[in-house]
Every structure is written in structure tokens, then in C-alpha cells.
């Protein structure tokens, strides 16, 4: 509530000195007034006095232009807020003299209610937190028992109903008598003149010659007794409600504890199973898809936890997007798993898992063999693509054989303006091959077989294979992905690779001097590319892991949060950019040594990846060794379209030197 309320109390003049008059009194007490309101002493202990204590100026009649003194002490006691102040002798309008003579004997405390409880029994407020704004010396109203309606301070009846409060003025004449009630109302001035305020008058000083009004005194005793009874009833009711609530909370806590125990048991089982699967996955990755040794190592544990693994796998399968049956693409992952399982078990599409998938998908393999085989191959390719970063920089070209001739158009020289009656032929290659003649060129695209093989014991349980299928497929994909990345960077077999195609940069990194790769070094390599380095979007930088960490220390290297996510969406694997060209990091760089590459600057349009058909997974059985041989194969290559020349290099490498 942002309204400011004024609590008016009397004070006593204690003594005086050369500088002014000292006064003291209670700003508020914890007693209930006739309206059923009370300000708890602890309401002033929650930071509500902090702002006033920074500049404790005493005003006259709430006039900010008339400071008359300074508060010298604020103390929260068990009875309420006790205040001491000194009124300056130089205060305007002879205030100090009037205080000394007892003519002025009250101060008004302006405060804001920050937190309160509504008491239904007394229809009043129990104020628990308040903030003190200002203190003024004011004239005590002639009628101390005047009352008023708080509703006049609110903008609407609804706002008033929210509070249900009525403040009344009361005078306790040192416990001897009560004055008669008459209506009175006094509004205090605020600094901006716009906030509403209400005053609650309460006399706290002694009266010299009070006249005892027995009727009023009896009414006061009756009111206080009724208030105490109401409070006691409210406390008893609150205690009963608290006891019932405590019992309810105890039941809820007990149920939650039982559920927590059950959950911990389930979590323990699941976490143990998940740790086992994580260990198997790590071993498969470390052993480069050597399934035989890995499955043999964990054979016992996998068989013991077969049921748990199966339930976890089923719980993670989502069928929400498969409402349409007969759509092979929606079941691609399942068909791939069924195909791999059939190959491993030599049962083809006759495994229970394969029959279950065909039934759920509403697709029969016998009638859709070609389409399903194509989808399976595509799914395996997608799994491998997830492991590729460098290879995805370059265009793939489907080929129909191991060697395919591709005609290409080389760069042409400039045409010439005619200067005479006739112009000789001037269409030439750039650089020139034959004068006045353009020679077409062709390049041979070669696709080489990439094979990964592994062995599997004959006695591996079919259910274990089903549960581990995602990890087995991922391991095969990672083995192929790493081999493709290594071949493109370093060359392998008949594939030359960037290390063989790229021209050496004039700038090198000295291992002995611990030289670091910088954005300036990459820019220098791009300059050496000539016309192939003109377009930043056609250039990509491929760096090793250590070189990537070197770039992070360079202010000119822009990370993804600086260049935006659009670049990462267009170039998979991007970790940043240097002057508009993406930077790709690869783990397939050789160890740092003299002559080994640290980074490449490449024009991606000048290199292609020819691919012959898709990925196939086959098997054979070794009777002597009682084991199956699993072979995953694909055919691809890496070719440079146009060879580099001095001042026009499609790729440049930055090498280490000793």
C-alpha cells in the first residue's frame, strides 16, 4: 500500500540547554485502538527506519520548508517505538518556547504500511512492517476522542473493501479517563501535495488535571476486554488450524518420502544401466568399432541387464510422428536397426524385431525391398554424415563407376576491343596455354573403396544386439567418418588429400619458439591464394585442436556468438570466423612436428567428393572360428578440379617448422 499514514502522539519536554529543548515520547505502541488496529514493535525492526535515520530532521506541521530540530534517538522497545528529539531555539514561529510552555505537545509520525495481517475478529489491522517517512511537531486537536472513516482516503469502495480498516483517535489519559467522542479529521501535507494521507491521533503524555468520565472508562474496559477475548479466540483458532495443517503436511511428507525411496530405487537401477551402456559406448569408440572384443568384455553384464536396457530403449522410442503407415521414411531408423540385426544374426528380415517393425509400420519387406534397402542405406549415410565436418565443406558428385571423366571449364583470358578492320582470335586460357586458342580440360573423378570390418562371436544374444544397436551403428559411422576426414586432410591410399594439393604458405609456425596461430597468419595464407581467396564465402579455414585454442587468444578471431548462428547453419562444424570466412576444427591433424600442417586455407568450390552408390553392410561366417565377420563399406574419393599456379592457389597450408 503506497498511501502515507500519520500517527500523532504527544510528547513531554524534558529539559533545555543553550541550543534547544529536548523532548521524548512514544511514536507508536502495541496497544489496540478502538478500530481494532495495532502496530507491533517489530514492525520497525525490518529496515523501515533506515531512510529516516540518514537525515532525521524534525518538521513543523508537516511543512518541509520549516525544519525545527533533529531526532537524537530512535529505540524499539517491547512497548513500541520510542523517540527523542531536540528542538532548536532558532526554530521559526517561537516553536521552542511554545514546546517549553506546553502549548505545543504532540508530534505526528508519517509512515507507510509495508505488511499487515487483517484480523477478522476485530476488523482491524495487525501491522507487521512499516516504513518511517517524516516526523513533525503539531498542535494537539482540541477534541482528542474524534474518529474518522479511512474509506475517505481511498479512491474506490473496492479499494477500501480490500483493506477493511478504520482508524480512530483515542486518548489514554495516563490510565485515568477517556475523553468524549466527537468527529474530527486532519490530513497531513506531503512534499508533492498529491499523495493522500490520514492521521491517527493518539495521546501518549500525561494530563495534569484530567476529569474522570466513569461511563467512558467503563466503555474502555469493556472494549479492551472484548478485544482480548477476540484475540484469544483468534489465537486458539489459528493454533487449531496450524495443528491440522501440520498433520496434513506430515502426511504429505510421509507420502513424498515413500515416493522418494521408490524413485531412488528406480534411479539406482536406471543409472547403473546407463553407466554400463556409457562404458560400452566408450569402449566401442576407443576400439574403433571392434565389436567382438567389446561385447566379449561386457557379455555377462549386458545379458544380466537385458530386460532393463530393453525397457529403457522402448521408453525412449517415439511414435507420435508415425500416424501414417506405409511411409518408409518415418520408419527409417527402425528399418536400419532391423537390417543391421538381420545381418549380424544371419536371419535377414526374419528376426522377431524385424517382423514387429513391419507390422507396426504396415510395410512388408518382400513387397518393398528396393525402397527399404535404399532407405536403410540413406540412414547409414546420415549417421556417417553426423560424424563429418571437413568433408561437408565440399560438394558431393554421384558417379557411376570407379573412374568418371568430368569436363570442366577453366578460367578464360580477357577479350580484346577491335582496333582495325579485323581482329585475330583472342579467346585463350588463363593463364595462356596456346596463343589465340582456348583448350578445354577434363578431370577424372576416382572413387575408392572404404571398408571397416569387425568380428562377433556366434553366441551373442539377439536381445543384447537389439539393445546395443544404436551404439553399434554409431560406432560404425564414427569409424567411417574419421577415416573420411583423415583422407581429405592427410591423404590415404590413392587419395592425395589437402596436404598433398595445398601450396606451402610463406609463413610457418616455429615449434621451438612456441609460435601461435593467429587470424593474421590465416589472412596471409588467404592472400597467397590470389583470385581463389577473393570471396570470403568461398574460403574456409581448417585448423587443428591446438591451433583453435591459439585462435581463442586472438581478438581478431570471431566466435559464433559474434558472427551469429547463420554461419553455423550453412557450414556444419563451424566454431568461428576470420574476416568473414568460417573456421572448422578437426581432430584428424597429425601430431605437431616439423613439416606437419597446422592449418589449411581452402577454396571449397575447387574440390569435390565423388561418391559411388551408398553404404552397404554385409556379413560372412567363419565356421572354423565360430564367428561372424561384419563389413561396412562405401566408395568415395577427393579430387582437385583445377590445379594451383603461382599467385593463384586454391589451397594453402601453414606448416610447423623445427
Phi–psi pair at 529, nearest 5 degrees: -75, -15
Cis preceding-peptide flag for 337 (omega within 30 of 0): no
Phi–psi pair at 593, nearest 5 degrees: -160, 165
Residue 13, helix vs strand vs coil? strand
Largest CA distance in the chain: 137
What is the number of H-type helices and E-type strands within the chain? 16, 26
Output the nine-digit C-alpha cell for 541.
Answer: 579455414
Angle between helix 306-315 and helix 214-286 axes, rounded to 10 deg: 110
136: β partners: 59, 108
Q: Which of 450, 451, 478, 475 is nearest to 587 (CA)?
A: 478
Is residue 251 part of the annotated active site? The answer reads no
CB contact at 8 A, 589 and 545: yes
CB contact at 8 A, 601 and 533: yes
User: Active-site residue among 9, 131, 134, 485?
Assistant: 134
655: β partners: 597
User: Active-site residue among 9, 28, 108, 205?
Assistant: 108
Contacts of 461 by beta carbon, 8 Å cutoff, 6+ apart: 302, 303, 306
> What sections of 536-641 are H helices per DSSP?
545-552, 560-563, 565-570
C-alpha–C-alpha distance, residues 70 and 494, integer Å: 96
CB contact at 8 A, 575 and 583: yes
C-alpha–C-alpha distance, residues 650 and 647, integer Å: 10
Phi–psi pair at 221, nearest 5 degrees: -60, -45
Sign of dihedral through CA atoms 50, 56, 58, 63? negative
Say what the alpha-carbon torsion angle 323, 326, 328, 333 is, to the nearest 10 degrees.
Answer: 50
Output the nine-digit C-alpha cell for 572.
Answer: 556444419
Q: Please list the helix, strand and coil fractions of the chain in percent, rounded to the nearest 5, in that order.
A: 40, 30, 35
User: Active-site residue among 28, 62, 131, 505?
Assistant: 62
CB contact at 8 A, 366 and 350: no
Is residue 108 part of the annotated active site? The answer reads yes
C-alpha–C-alpha distance, residues 350 and 81, integer Å: 89
Instruction: Give Rg (Cα) of the chain.
Output: 45
C-alpha–C-alpha distance, residues 54 and 64, integer Å: 16
Active site positions, annotated:
62, 108, 134
Amino acid at each position: 500500500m503506497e498511501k502515507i499514514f500519520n500517527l500523532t502522539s504527544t510528547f513531554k519536554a524534558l529539559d533545555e540547554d543553550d541550543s534547544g529543548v529536548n523532548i521524548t515520547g512514544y511514536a507508536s505502541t502495541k496497544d489496540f485502538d478502538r478500530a481494532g488496529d495495532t502496530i507491533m514493535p517489530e514492525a520497525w525492526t525490518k529496515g523501515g527506519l533506515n531512510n529516516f535515520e540518514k537525515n532525521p530532521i524534525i518538521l513543523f506541521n508537516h511543512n518541509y520548508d520549516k525544519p525545527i530540530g533533529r531526532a537524537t534517538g530512535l529505540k524499539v522497545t517491547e512497548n513500541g517505538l520510542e523517540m527523542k528529539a531536540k528542538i532548536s531555539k532558532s526554530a521559526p514561529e517561537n516553536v521552542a518556547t511554545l514546546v517549553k510552555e506546553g502549548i505545543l505537545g504532540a508530534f505526528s509520525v508519517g509512515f507507510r504500511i509495508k505488511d499487515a495481517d487483517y484480523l477478522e475478529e476485530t476488523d482491524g489491522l495487525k501491522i507487521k512492517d512499516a516504513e518511517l517517512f517524516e516526523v513533525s511537531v503539531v498542535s494537539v486537536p482540541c477534541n482528542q476522542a474524534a474518529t474518522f472513516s479511512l474509506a475517505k482516503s481511498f479512491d474506490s469502495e473496492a479499494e477500501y473493501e480490500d483493506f477493511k480498516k478504520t482508524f480512530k483517535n483515542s486518548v489514554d489519559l495516563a490510565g485515568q479517563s477517556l475523553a468524549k467522542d466527537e468527529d474530527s479529521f486532519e490530513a497531513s501535507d506531503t512534499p508533492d501535495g498529491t499523495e493522500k494521507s490520514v492521521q491517527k491521533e493518539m495521546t501518549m503524555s500525561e494530563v495534569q488535571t484530567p476529569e474522570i468520565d466513569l461511563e467512558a472508562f467503563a466503555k474502555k474496559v469493556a472494549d479492551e476486554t472484548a478485544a482480548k477475548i477476540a484475540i484469544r479466540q483468534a489465537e486458539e483458532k489459528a493454533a487449531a488450524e496450524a495443528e491440522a495443517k501440520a498433520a496434513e503436511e506430515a502426511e504429505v511428507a510421509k507420502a513424498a518420502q515413500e515416493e522418494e525411496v521408490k524413485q531412488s530405487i528406480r534411479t539406482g537401477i536406471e543409472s547403473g544401466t546407463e553407466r554400463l551402456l556409457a562404458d560400452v559406448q566408450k569402449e566401442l569408440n576407443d576400439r574403433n568399432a571392434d565389436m567382438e572384443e567389446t561385447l566379449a568384455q561386457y557379455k555377462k553384464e549386458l545379458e544380466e541387464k537385458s530386460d532393463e536396457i530393453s525397457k529403457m530403449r522402448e521408453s525412449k522410442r517415439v511414435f507420435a510422428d508415425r500416424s501414417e503407415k506405409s511411409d518408409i521414411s518415418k520408419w527409417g531408423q527402425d528399418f536400419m536397426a532391423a537390417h543391421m540385426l538381420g545381418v549380424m544374426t544371419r536371419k535377414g528380415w526374419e528376426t522377431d524385431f524385424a517382423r514387429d517393425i513391419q507390422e507396426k509400420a504396415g510395410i512388408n519387406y518382400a513387397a518393398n525391398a528396393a525402397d527399404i534397402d535404399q532407405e536403410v542405406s540413406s540412414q547409414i549415410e546420415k549417421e556417417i554424415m553426423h560424424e563429418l565436418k571437413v568433408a561437408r565443406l565440399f560438394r558431393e558428385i554421384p558417379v557411376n563407376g570407379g573412374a568418371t571423366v568430368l569436363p570442366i571449364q577453366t578460367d578464360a583470358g580477357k577479350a580484346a576491343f577491335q582496333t582495325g578492320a579485323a581482329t585475330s582470335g583472342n579467346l585463350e586460357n588463363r593463364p595462356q596455354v596456346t596463343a589465340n586458342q582456348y583448350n578445354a580440360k577434363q578431370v577424372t573423378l576416382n572413387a575408392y573403396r572404404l571398408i571397416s570390418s569387425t568380428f562377433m562371436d556366434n553366441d551373442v544374444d539377439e536381445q543384447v544386439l537389439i539393445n546395443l544397436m544404436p551404439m553399434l551403428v554409431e560406432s560404425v559411422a564414427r569409424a567411417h567418418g574419421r577415416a573420411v576426414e583423415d583422407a581429405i586432410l592427410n591423404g590415404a591410399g590413392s587419395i592425395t588429400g589437402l596436404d598433398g594439393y595445398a601450396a606451402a604458405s610463406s609463413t610457418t609456425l616455429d615449434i621451438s619458439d612456441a609460435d601461435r596461430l593467429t587470424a593474421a597468419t590465416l589472412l596471409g595464407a588467404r592472400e597467397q591464394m590470389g583470385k581463389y581467396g577473393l570471396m570470403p564465402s568461398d574460403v574456409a579455414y581448417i585448423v587443428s585442436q591446438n591451433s583453435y585454442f591459439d585462435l581463442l587468444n586472438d581478438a581478431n578471431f570471431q566466435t559464433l556468438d559474434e558472427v551469429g548462428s547463420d554461419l553455423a547453419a550453412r557450414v556444419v562444424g563451424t566454431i568461428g570466423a576470420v574476416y568473414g570466412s568460417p573456421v572448422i576444427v578437426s581432430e584428424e591433424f597429425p601430431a605437431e612436428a616439423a613439416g606437419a600442417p597446422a592449418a589449411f586455407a581452402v577454396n571449397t568450390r575447387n574440390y569435390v567428393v565423388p561418391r559411388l552408390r551408398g553404404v552397404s553392410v554385409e556379413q560372412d561366417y567363419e565356421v572354423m572360428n565360430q564367428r561372424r565377420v561384419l563389413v561396412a563399406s562405401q566408395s568415395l574419393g577427393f579430387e582437385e578440379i583445377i590445379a594451383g599456379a603461382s599467385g593463384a592457389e586454391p589451397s594453402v597450408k601453414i606448416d610447423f617448422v623445427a
